[in-house]
């Protein structure tokens, strides 16, 4: 990929005339690659066959992103597009391979260890599977109370009160503090996961498909909880989902990823009024909606290519009905197509 | 006479904790070339209904009452060999996880020809040609070569296509699809919905599409059944049911769906949780969570039929309820 285009477009002002504060988090040319582990036999056979020493998966391939305080950014993409990896890097769970993570104007790389720990604490994560992400042998009191105890953010004597308060915040009866995860339903378990993320008073929460595993009527309850918490605790969210309906409902701005790259980013209304990238157009059209009846589907052909060996040029060109020779050779840069609306497509060059 | 006639179907599970009425008096009918969407949350009995029609209920479960007629022929109580002759030929099922239906150690072509040869005495070469054509029909590139591939060599979407091609192999009268696109990505889901819809119309199969997602069914089906706690609480044409639901549960499902241009607003949520089938309230099973419930709901509601639709509710919503929701 060529040098990243500097992102100049800020988010649309929540109120007209409001002055933009510094972004709460900024990613600059962020990359995360994974190399499959190869044993000696594999290395040997590679050398004999004259293949390069290792092949990498570029899970996140040069992403630039700014998130303003109080903003809710929706991150959409299909499996394997790198959205979860990006979320985990932002939550501080994974280290980026290269690129910068800037927290409130300060590069994480240049921080003192104690400063970095404090910044990390301000970014928390809620996971998809409320069954797999809670230790079955820990009670709610331990699950929620562990992080504040370890970090020493709450005095030991007050941790029980702290946990009770958090349980009330997320809508769980505090009397259940000594129960184990298996004694709760899926929706309640997700509430425990949310309480755990809130336990160290974060400012920024990464939610990775937090409602995907829930039943429809429970999903609405948890979505409402996310909106309430946002207002009450002034939280900033990165909300990762494959469900366009959920993302449309919640997000101020939507970012679309395809095979490790951001291909489009726009305020929600602008995106639904007119998506720019052919992939986004298809993604929005293909999403099932209640008001779409007897659809004569015109789906995009083909499948997501392997991230081990992505197509050259624009990653989307083999599936794109408008692809030209240039799309096959040259990766398009993310450029502004309307105020605040970025898209990475050669077609915009006319 | 409809292709499929289900009358008062009851499937119960006899567990140590008590009798679970997973399907408790389900009735509907379905014609060739039509798609019926069966919608409900986990534990509503939508999958067990599908399994009951297929004759796939194992102990401790049992069909304890009602009838399932396919082209006029009663399926409940059929001896096992008879059922086996029927399954794969007259009725077929597509499951959520194609890894469940495909044998991981057999080549796809072997499994597909097996499905043909189990029901018809045709030469091997013909069976193979039919399998190849079926793969081509669901949009699998270079089908001839792919017949020799193993299931793990396909992606999730392609595997589901193989399962769908296999289900259509013997041109069944009825296909039951149990959440076949739930595990797939949006663009792949769109492709699969498109293919199955087209094939169902083309071959004149009746299809039951089981899903937890009302919006998937809205784009696909002709009719919708909404299930709650083992019963169909409302059924009718897609437009009538979604635009003007009569049952408060249907209305709640519609109102709790995100999107639809109400960005940032609180979703109308259905309070409470899905009740355990062991511990259902007497009368209407939904009344504990229902905003409309009154004293008369303590008595179980019967089915009220209206033009082209039916519902089980003593306090149905009015004509304009859909607009409010």
Residues B74-112 have pLDDT tens digits of 999 899 899 989 998 899 999 887 777 889 999 999 999
Yes or no, beta carbons of B270 and A217 under 8 Å apart: yes
A79: closest CA of chain B, how far (Å):
7
Mean pLDDT of A21-42: 85
Tell me what pLDDT residue B93 has.
92
Task: Check residue A12 and report its DSSP letter.
Answer: P
DSSP E strands, chain B: 4-15, 18-30, 35-39, 61-70, 73-74, 91-94, 174-178, 206-211, 223-228, 231-237, 304-306, 309-311
- Cα A80 from chain centre: 13
Answer whether residue A268 shows pLDDT above 90: yes
Task: Give residues with Cβ within 8 angstroms of A29, minimum separation 6.
Answer: A4, A62, A63, A64, A98, A99, A100
Tell me what pLDDT residue A88 has.
93
The tens digit of pLDDT for each residue in B167-218 reads 999 999 999 999 888 777 777 888 888 888 888 888 899 999 999 889 889 9
Q: Tell me whether B270 touches chain A (CB under 8 Å).
A: yes
Tell me what pLDDT residue A300 has.
67
Which residues in chain B are closer than 8 Å to A294, comparing Cβ atoms? 219, 238
Q: How far is the C-alpha of A96 from the C-alpha of A87, rounded, in Å?
A: 11
Interface of A with B (CB under 8 A): 78-79, 185, 187, 215-221, 223-224, 227, 242-246, 248-251, 268-269, 282-283, 286-295, 297-301, 303-304
Which residue, among B184, B221, B186, has the nearest Cα to B201 in the 3D structure? B221
Yes or no, beta carbons of A295 and B220 under 8 Å apart: yes
Query: What is the pTM (predicted TM-score) of this model?
Result: 0.84
Which residue, among A3, A26, A223, has the nearest Cα to B256 in the 3D structure? A223
- For A186, which residue in chain B has the nearest alpha carbon? B273
A6 falls in which pLDDT band (50, 70, 90)? very low
Q: How far is the C-alpha of B162 from the C-alpha of B136, rounded, in Å?
A: 10
Q: How far is the C-alpha of B40 from the C-alpha of B76, rounded, in Å?
A: 24
B270: closest CA of chain A, how far (Å):
6
Answer whether residue A39 shows pLDDT above 80: no
Provide the mean pLDDT of chain B: 88
Higher pLDDT, B261 or B53: B53
Tell me what pLDDT residue B187 has.
78
Disruptive mutation site among B267, B272, B286, B291 for chain A (greatest number of A CBs within 10 Å): B267
Mean pLDDT of B115-140: 91
The tens digit of pLDDT for each residue in B279-317 reads 888 889 998 889 888 898 998 898 898 888 999 999 998
Q: How far is the C-alpha of A69 from the C-alpha of A122, rounded, in Å?
A: 12
DSSP string, A263-319: EEEEEHHHHHH---SHHHHHHHHHS--TT--S----PPPS-PPPTTSPPSSSTTGGG
A295: closest CA of chain B, how far (Å):
5
Disruptive mutation site among B179, B195, B222, B269 for chain A (greatest number of A CBs within 10 Å): B269
- Residue B24: helix, strand or coil by DSSP? strand
Distance (Å) of CA A36 to CA A55, A57, A62, B120: 7, 8, 20, 47
Which residues in chain A are closer than 8 Å to B247, comparing Cβ atoms? none
Tell me what pLDDT residue A51 has.
63
Mean pLDDT of A264-293: 89
Answer whether residue A111 shows pLDDT above 80: yes
Tell me what pLDDT residue A218 has.
84
Disruptive mutation site among B47, B195, B215 for chain A (greatest number of A CBs within 10 Å): B215
Q: Tell me whether B243 touches chain A (CB under 8 Å).
A: no
Answer whether residue A1 shows pLDDT above 60: no
What is the percentage of chain B residues whose pLDDT exceeds 70?
A: 97
The tens digit of pLDDT for each residue in A120-143 reads 999 999 988 877 889 999 999 999
Q: How far is the C-alpha of A86 from the C-alpha of A240, rounded, in Å?
A: 10
């Amino acid at each position: 990929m060529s040098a990243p285009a500097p992102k100049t477009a800020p988010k649309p002002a929540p109120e007209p005339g409001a002055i933009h504060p510094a972004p709460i988090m900024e990613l600059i040319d962020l990359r995360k690659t994974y190399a499959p582990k190869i044993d000696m036999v594999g290395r040997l056979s590679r050398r004999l066959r004259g293949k390069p020493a290792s092949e990498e998966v570029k899970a996140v391939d040069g992403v630039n992103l700014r998130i303003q305080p109080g903003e809710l950014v929706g991150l959409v993409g299909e499996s394997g597009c790198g959205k979860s990896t990006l979320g985990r890097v932002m939550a501080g769970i994974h280290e980026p391979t290269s690129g910068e993570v800037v927290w409130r104007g300060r590069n994480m790389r240049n921080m003192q260890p104690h400063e970095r720990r404090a910044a990390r604490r301000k970014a928390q994560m809620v996971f998809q599977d409320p069954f797999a992400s809670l230790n079955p042998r820990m009670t709610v009191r331990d699950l929620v109370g562990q992080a504040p105890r370890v970090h020493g953010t709450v005095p030991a004597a007050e941790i029980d009160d702290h946990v009770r308060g958090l349980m009330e915040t997320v809508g769980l009866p505090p009397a259940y503090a000594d129960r184990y995860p298996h004694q709760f339903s899926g929706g309640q378990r997700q509430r425990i996961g949310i309480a755990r993320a809130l336990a160290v008073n974060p400012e920024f929460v990464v939610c990775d498909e937090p409602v995907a595993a829930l039943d429809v009527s429970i999903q609405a309850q948890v979505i409402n909880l996310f909106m309430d918490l946002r207002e009450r605790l002034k939280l900033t969210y990165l909300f990762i989902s494959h469900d366009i309906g959920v993302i449309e409902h919640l997000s101020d701005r939507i970012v679309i990823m395809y095979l490790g790259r951001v291909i489009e980013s726009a305020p929600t209304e602008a995106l639904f009024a007119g998506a720019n990238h052919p992939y986004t157009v298809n993604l929005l059209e293909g999403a099932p909606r209640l008001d779409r009846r007897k659809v004569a589907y015109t789906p995009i052909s083909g499948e997501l290519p392997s991230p081990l060996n992505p197509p050259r040029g624009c990653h989307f060109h083999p599936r794109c009905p408008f692809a030209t020779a240039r799309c096959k050779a040259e990766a398009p840069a993310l450029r502004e197509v309307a105020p605040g609306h970025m898209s990475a497509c050669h077609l915009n060059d006319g | 006479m409809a292709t499929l006639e289900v009358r008062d179907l009851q499937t119960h599970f006899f567990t140590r904790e008590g009798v679970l009425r997973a399907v408790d008096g389900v009735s509907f009918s379905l014609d060739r070339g039509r798609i019926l969407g069966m919608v409900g949350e986990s534990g509503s009995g939508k999958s067990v209904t599908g399994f009951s029609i297929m004759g796939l209920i194992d102990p401790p479960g049992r069909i304890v009452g009602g009838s399932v007629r396919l082209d006029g022929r009663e399926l409940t109580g059929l001896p096992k060999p008879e059922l086996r002759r029927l399954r794969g030929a007259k009725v077929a099922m597509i499951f959520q996880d194609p890894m469940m239906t495909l044998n991981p150690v057999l080549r796809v072509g072997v499994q597909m020809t097996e499905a043909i040869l189990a029901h018809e005495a045709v030469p091997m070469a013909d069976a193979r040609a039919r399998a190849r054509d079926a793969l081509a029909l669901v949009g699998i590139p270079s089908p001839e070569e792919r017949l020799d591939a193993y299931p793990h060599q396909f992606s999730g979407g392609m595997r589901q296509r193989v399962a769908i091609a296999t289900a259509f192999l013997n041109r069944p009268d009825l296909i039951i699809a149990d959440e076949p696109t739930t595990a797939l990505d949006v663009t792949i889901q769109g492709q699969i919905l498109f293919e199955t819809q087209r094939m169902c119309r083309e071959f004149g199969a009746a299809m039951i599409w089981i899903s937890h997602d009302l919006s998937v069914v809205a784009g696909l089906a002709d009719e919708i059944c909404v299930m709650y706690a083992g019963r169909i609480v409302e059924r009718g044409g897609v437009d009538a049911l979604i635009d003007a639901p009569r049952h408060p549960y249907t209305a709640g499902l519609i109102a709790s769906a995100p999107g639809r241009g109400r960005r940032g607003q609180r979703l109308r949520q259905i309070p409470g949780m899905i009740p355990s089938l062991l511990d259902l309230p007497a009368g209407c099973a939904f009344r504990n969570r229902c905003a409309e419930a009154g004293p008369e709901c303590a008595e179980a509601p019967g089915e009220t039929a209206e033009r082209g639709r039916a519902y089980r509710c003593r306090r149905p919503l009015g004509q304009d309820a859909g607009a409010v929701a």
